[in-house]
Amino acid sequence: MSTVRVLVGTKKGAFILTADGTRRDWQVSGPHFAGWEMYHLKGSPVEPNRIYASQTSGWFGQIIQRSDDGGKTWAPPDGVGEPPPGPPPTGRSNRFLYEGEVGTHKWYDGTQHPWEFKRIWHLEPSLTDPDTVYAGAEDAALFKTTDGGKAWHEMPGLRAAKGTLWQPGAGGMAVHTILLDPLNAQRIFIAISAAGAFRTDDGGTTWKPINRGLKSPYELPDPDAEVGHCVHRIALHPSSPGTLFMQKHWDVLRTDNAGEDWREVSGNLPSDFGFPIDVHAHEPETIYVVPIKSDSEHFPPEGKLRVYRSRTGGGEWEPLTRGLPQQDCYVNVLRDAMAVDALDSCGIYFGTTGGQVYCSPDGGDTWQAIVRDLPAVYSVEVQTLP
């Protein structure tokens, strides 16, 4: 029977939840890196026991950890296989291209316009090589390693895509979404908070904004602005990577031509504001969002925690509530805190700022809290293991 491994990044450490294919009884491992902000953990699709983790602290700065045994032991990539040291490591072999000391502001070097380096929001391992990983940074830049995380190098072509016009939003300015096209190794999609969505068709050398059809009347006076849109999350199905779905600051949208044009599909949602969006593992037109009341009230409308599902790729939505609190619930679900598994009956997962992680083993029809009372959940990723 298959095993499901759920990787949870929180405000104060990482947790690994495991269960068999029934997804009824869960074992909890953690906290790993207790006290650290764990912005993202993600496993390699090529080497299932290889997991990368982004940990951040205001004192020690940004560190990438790697596990080669499914999260049992961790170490910086230049010391994988060794037990983690007592104090957090500070060696630059695990660092990105910047100048500055641990615990201080960092700046990219080797560029005409150095940018402040704060943290790594998202890690995206290659679909074909366990040693190749992309990393999305704040302030917005994209990095890549080809040696399992020992050395990272910026992909500067991204910031050439009108980067001088990008501005941070209320949540900063970060590369928070990285999507690799499984049918075209040269194509990558990324999203940047308060800048928009971007695409490369040459492996990252050059990039173009893909924001036509996005409307941001409150932020941008120009209705046809190419950049400056606050994109919260984008998602695609591997079998149809030219169709993408977007949760924007306001509006849920889709494109069927790899981002050349977007159209709104918010339909009958109670609010078109939210953060995560994801796609059913086996149904490319079935998508999920979690509406939040507004950009100033980050909690569910009416205090009812509802996941909304569309089986038509947007437009028509149904609330999924069975097993979710339907009164006095004021949590939020962040942009990287929803994921799906690949089992025959697709499982949907999400974590909340209240520390709950919910699972639906039946595509959203019913829900259960598989763990409660964690620190605020930043990210949820799922591995389906044989």
For range 257-278, the mean pLDDT: 98
**Which residues are 212's β-sheet partners?**
none
Mean pLDDT of the chain, nearest integer: 90
Give yes or no for residue 201 having a pLDDT over 50: yes
Fold of 40-376: Methylamine Dehydrogenase; Chain H (2.130.10)
Output phi, psi for 157, to 5 deg.
Answer: -60, -25
Counting residues of the chain whose pLDDT is more than 70, the rounded percentage is: 90
Length of the chain: 386
Tokens of 243: 């169709």
C-alpha dihedral sign at 298, 341, 236, 16: positive
Contact 362, 345 (CB under 8 A): yes
**3-class SS at 145?**
strand
Q: For residues 92 and 187, what is the distance between their CA atoms, to the nearest angstrom?
A: 30
pLDDT band at 114 (very low <50, low <70, confident <90, very high): low
pLDDT score recorded for residue 170 = 81
Give the pLDDT confidence of 334-382 residue by residue, as tens digits: 999 999 999 999 999 999 999 999 999 999 999 999 999 999 999 999 9
Q: Please give the single-letter amino acid code of residue 259.
A: G
Query: Any residues with CB less than 8 A from the CB of 284 and at least 6 apart, and which?
Result: 237, 239, 240, 243, 313
Q: How does DSSP classify residue 99?
A: B
Token digits of residue 256:
């069927």
Asked whether the predicted pLDDT for residue 213 surpasses 70, the reply is yes
**pLDDT tens for each residue of 277-298:** 999 999 999 999 999 999 999 9
* HSE-up of residue 134 (Cα within 13 Å, Cβ side): 21
Of the ranges 65-74, 116-125, 342-351, which one carries the lowest mean pLDDT score?
116-125
Confidence of residue 97 (pLDDT cuts 50, 70, 90): very low
Distance CA 233, CA 248 (A): 7
